[in-house]
C-alpha cells in the first residue's frame, strides 16, 4: 500500500491525502484527526488493535475535544464498481515515535520539518527569500534577492502568531506606510509592501554591514571621532524624519514623525562608516493627535526619555534623549540608567541622574561630554530643539578633534567651567559689570545725540564694508551693535542689520539654525518681503519644500519695497535671482518627493524657465545654476509629456 508520513504524529497515512494545519481533509471522505467521525466505531473495527485512549497531540491542541480521547486510526470509504461500499482501516504503528511541534504550522502552511521555516525559497513579491538573518519580537528578517533588478533586498515579515492581532498588524503596516515615504541617505529605504498568505511583508534596502550593537561588541573602545561621526549621521536622519512633510492616504499632511525607539539594534553601520537608521515600527506622526493606549509601552525602556516613561506628550526632543543614551553607551560601554528590575529602571530614568562620562572615560573631550549632558537633560526645554543643532555641534567636535590631533598625545581644550568654577563666576560678574557700563553709555548716546540716523548709517556702512571684504566675523559684531527700536534704536537700521546678519549665517557661516531663529523672530514683528525671501531659501536648504514655496510665494506677491533697497551695497538683480532659483528648486522637489501631480511639474517647468530668462543663461556659459536649470528643464518636460 502507498503511504505518506504524517509529520504531525510521525505516522503513516494513505498517499494522496491533503495535509493541513488541522489534520487531513475529507478529499476522499476521510476522517480528520482534528474532527473525529462519530458515525464509525473505530475501537470495535476488525483488525484495529490500537490503544483507544491514545491521543493525537496536534489534534488535541487544535480542537475542543478534551473530555474524550481521539482515535488515531483513519477510515477511507471508496465506491466499488458494483456500487457497494467497503471500509479500509489504516493502522499506525504501536510506537508513534517523535511528535512534531504544532508551531511548525504557519496559518495552515506546513513548514519544512527539517528547516522549520515556511518562507525559505519562496517568492515574496519580486524577491526570492534566501536566508533568515534575524528575528525580533514581532517580525522575521530575511535576506532575499530581487529577481527583477538582480539586487539583494531585506524582507521583513510579520510573525504568523501576530498576524491576527489587529494592534500589531496596524503598527507593522504603519511602519511600511511611513518609511516608504522617507528618502534620506541615513534612513533604510523601503521599496515595496504586500501580503504573502496572511502575512504582511516589507521589502527594504539591503545594507552590507552590521548592527551598531554588533559593532559595539566587536570594538571594546570606539574612537571619539568615530562616535561623533555616527551620532552626527543619526542626528541628520532624525532632523529629516522630524521635519519632512508626508501626505497620508487620507490626504492629511504629516509634519514629520518621531522614531521613539532609538537604540543600537535599530542602527546599521557599513564597513565604510555609513549609518542607517531603521525599524520605524514604534514611530508616531508628530502633527496628528494620536495617543498611545493607556498601559502600553512603546519603545525600549533603557532608551526611553522621562516624558516617555511618564506617558506625557512627546516631541522631537524625546528622540534626542534616546540619542543621548546611545552616545553615553558608545563613549563608556555602559548605559546611563541601569537597574535590577523595570520599576527601578523607570524611576532612575525619571530622576535622570547618572555618572559623568569623563569620570568613566577621562579621555573624552569636554565638548562631547557637554553634548551628552544637554541631550540627557531631564527638562526637554534644556535639550537641543532640532537635529540640525545637534549635528552642527557634533561637526564642531569632529573638527576640533581633527585640529588638535588624536591618540595619547591629544591636546584637549580645557573646560574652565568645570576646572575653575570660581574663575568662571568672577568672569561672569565682570562681564555683567561691563555690560551694564556699555548699556549705560549706549543709553546716554542714543538719547542725547541729535543726529541718530547719521550714526546708525555710519555703523551700518562699516559693517557692510567688512562684509564686502569677506571679514564676516567683524561684520557680524558690528551689525550686532545696532540696538532694537525698544532700546532707542532706529527701526529700519535694526531690521537691515538683522537681515544682513541672517544672510551671513546662512550663506557664508553655514549656521542655518541661527539664521532661521533670527528670521522667524523678525517675521513676528516686521513686514518686509526680504524676510520671506531669505526664509524661503533657508527652508529649501532644510528640505522643507512646502514651507519654502509658501514663503517665496509671499515674497513674489508682495508689492512693498524691502528695507535693503535703500542701501548702496544692495544688488536687487542678484537678490531676485537667488529667490527665483530657490523657488524653482522647491517646486521641483515638491513634485519629485511629495506629490507627483501634472500641475506641479507644469509649475516647476515654468519656474525654471523664468529663472533661465531672468538670469540670461544663454550668454553665461560658466554659471553652475544656469547649467543645472538647462539640464533640468528637458527632464521635467519629458515627465510632463508622459503624464
Q: Which helix (H) or strand (E) holds 323?
A: helix 316-332
Helix (H, G, I), strand (E, B) or coil at 11: strand
What are the DSSP calls for 105-148, one per residue? EETTEEPPTTT--SSTT-EETTEEEEEEEEE-SSEEEEEEEETT
Instruction: Please report how many Cα atoms fall inside a 13 Å half-sphere around the Cα of residue 552, on the Cβ side.
Output: 25
Which residues are paired to 86 by β-bridges? Answer: 78
Most distant CA pair in the chain, distance: 128
Helix (H, G, I), strand (E, B) or coil at 392: helix
CB under 8 Å to 249, separation ≥6 — which residues?
177
Residue of 261, 319, 490, 532 marked active site: 261
What letter would DSSP give residue 187?
Answer: B
Q: Which three cell numbers stand for residue 629?
A: 536649470
Which residues are paired to 245 by β-bridges? Answer: 255
What letter would DSSP give residue 27?
Answer: T
- CB 555 within 8 Å of CB 536: yes
Cα–Cα distance for residue pair 414/433, rounded to 1 Å: 25
Q: Give, in order, the Cα–Cα distances in Å from 113 to each of 7, 41, 117, 314.
A: 7, 32, 8, 46
What are the DSSP calls for 52-95, one per residue? TT---HHHHHTSS--SS-----EEEEEE-TTS-EEEEEEPPPS-
CA gyration radius, the chain = 34
- Look up 226 and say whether it is catalytic: no
Of the candidates 338, 164, 202, 346, which has an alpha carbon nearest to the alpha carbon of residue 281?
A: 202
Indicate which residues carry an active-site annotation.
Answer: 261
Amino acid at each position: 500500500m502507498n503511504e505518506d508520513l504524517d509529520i504531525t504524529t510521525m505516522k503513516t497515512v494513505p498517499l494522496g491525502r491533503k495535509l493541513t494545519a488541522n489534520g487531513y481533509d475529507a478529499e476522499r471522505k476521510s476522517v480528520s484527526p482534528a474532527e473525529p467521525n462519530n458515525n464509525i466505531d473505530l475501537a470495535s473495527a476488525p483488525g484495529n488493535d490500537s490503544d483507544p485512549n491514545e491521543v493525537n497531540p496536534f489534534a488535541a491542541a487544535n480542537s475542543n475535544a478534551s473530555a474524550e480521547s481521539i482515535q488515531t486510526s483513519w477510515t477511507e470509504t471508496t465506491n466499488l464498481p458494483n456500487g457497494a461500499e467497503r471500509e479500509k482501516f489504516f493502522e499506525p504503528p504501536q510506537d508513534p515515535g517523535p511528535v512534531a511541534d504544532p508551531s511548525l504550522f504557519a496559518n495552515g502552511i506546513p513548514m519544512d520539518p527539517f528547516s522549520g521555516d515556511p518562507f525559505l525559497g519562496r517568492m515574496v513579491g519580486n524577491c526570492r527569500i534566501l536566508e533568515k538573518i534575524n528575528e525580533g519580537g514581532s517580525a522575521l528578517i530575511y535576506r532575499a534577492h530581487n529577481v527583477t533588478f538582480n539586487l539583494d533586498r531585506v524582507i521583513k515579515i510579520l510573525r504568523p502568531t501576530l498576524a491576527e492581532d489587529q494592534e500589531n498588524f496596524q503598527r507593522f503596516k504603519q511602519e511600511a506606510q511611513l518609511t516608504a515615504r522617507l528618502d534620506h541617505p541615513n534612513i533604510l529605504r523601503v521599496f515595496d509592501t504586500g501580503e504573502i498568505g496572511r502575512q504582511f511583508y516589507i521589502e527594504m534596502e539591503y545594507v552590507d554591514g552590521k548592527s551598531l550593537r554588533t559593532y559595539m561588541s566587536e570594538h571594546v573602545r570606539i574612537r571619539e571621532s568615530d562616535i561623533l561621526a555616527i551620532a552626527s549621521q543619526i542626528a541628520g536622519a532624525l532632523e529629516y524624519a522630524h521635519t519632512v512633510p508626508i501626505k497620508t492616504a487620507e490626504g492629511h499632511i504629516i509634519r514629520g514623525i518621531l522614531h521613539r525607539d532609538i537604540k543600537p539594534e535599530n542602527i546599521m553601520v557599513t564597513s565604510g562608516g555609513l549609518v542607517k537608521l531603521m525599524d520605524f515600527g514604534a514611530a508616531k506622526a508628530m502633527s496628528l493627535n494620536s495617543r498611545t493606549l493607556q498601559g502600553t509601552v512603546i519603545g525600549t525602556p533603557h532608551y526611553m526619555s522621562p516624558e516617555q516613561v511618564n506617558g506625557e506628550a512627546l516631541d522631537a526632543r524625546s528622540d534626542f534623549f534616546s540619542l543621548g543614551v546611545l552616545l553615553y553607551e558608545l563613549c563608556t560601554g555602559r548605559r546611563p540608567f541601569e537597574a535590577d528590575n523595570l520599576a527601578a529602571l523607570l524611576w532612575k530614568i525619571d530622576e535622570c541622574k547618572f555618572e559623568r562620562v569623563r569620570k568613566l572615560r577621562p579621555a573624552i573631550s569636554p565638548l562631547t561630554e557637554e553634548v551628552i549632558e544637554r541631550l540627557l537633560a531631564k527638562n526637554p526645554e534644556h535639550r537641543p530643539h532640532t537635529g540640525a543643532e545637534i549635528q552642527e555641534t557634533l561637526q564642531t567636535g569632529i573638527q576640533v578633534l581633527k585640529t588638535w590631533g588624536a591618540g595619547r598625545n591629544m591636546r584637549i581644550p580645557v573646560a574652565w567651567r568645570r576646572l575653575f568654577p570660581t574663575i568662571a563666576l568672577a568672569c561672569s560678574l565682570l562681564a555683567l559689570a561691563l555690560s551694564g557700563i556699555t548699556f549705560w553709555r549706549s543709553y546716554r548716546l542714543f538719547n542725547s545725540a541729535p543726529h541718530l540716523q547719521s550714526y546708525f548709517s555710519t555703523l551700518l556702512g562699516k559693517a557692510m564694508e567688512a562684509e564686502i571684504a569677506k571679514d564676516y566675523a567683524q561684520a557680524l559684531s558690528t551689525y550686532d551693535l545696532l540696538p532694537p527700536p525698544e532700546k532707542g534704536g532706529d527701526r529700519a537700521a535694526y531690521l537691515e542689520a538683522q537681515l544682513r546678519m541672517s544672510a551671513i549665517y546662512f550663506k557664508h557661516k553655514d549656521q542655518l539654525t541661527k539664521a532661521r531663529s533670527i528670521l522667524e523672530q523678525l517675521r513676528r514683528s516686521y513686514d518686509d518681503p526680504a524676510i520671506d525671501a531669505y526664509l524661503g531659501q533657508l527652508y529649501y536648504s532644510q528640505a522643507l519644500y512646502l514651507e519654502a514655496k509658501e514663503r517665496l510665494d509671499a515674497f513674489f506677491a508682495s508689492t512693498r519695497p524691502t528695507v535693503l533697497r535703500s542701501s548702496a551695497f544692495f544688488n536687487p538683480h542678484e537678490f531676485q535671482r537667488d529667490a527665483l532659483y530657490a523657488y524653482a528648486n522647491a517646486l521641483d522637489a515638491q513634485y519629485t518627493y511629495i506629490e507627483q501631480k501634472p500641475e506641479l511639474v507644469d509649475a516647476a517647468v515654468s519656474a525654471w524657465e523664468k529663472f533661465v530668462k531672468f538670469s540670461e543663461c544663454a550668454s553665461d556659459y560658466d554659471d553652475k545654476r544656469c547649467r543645472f536649470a538647462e539640464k533640468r528643464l528637458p527632464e521635467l518636460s519629458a515627465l510632463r509629456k508622459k503624464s
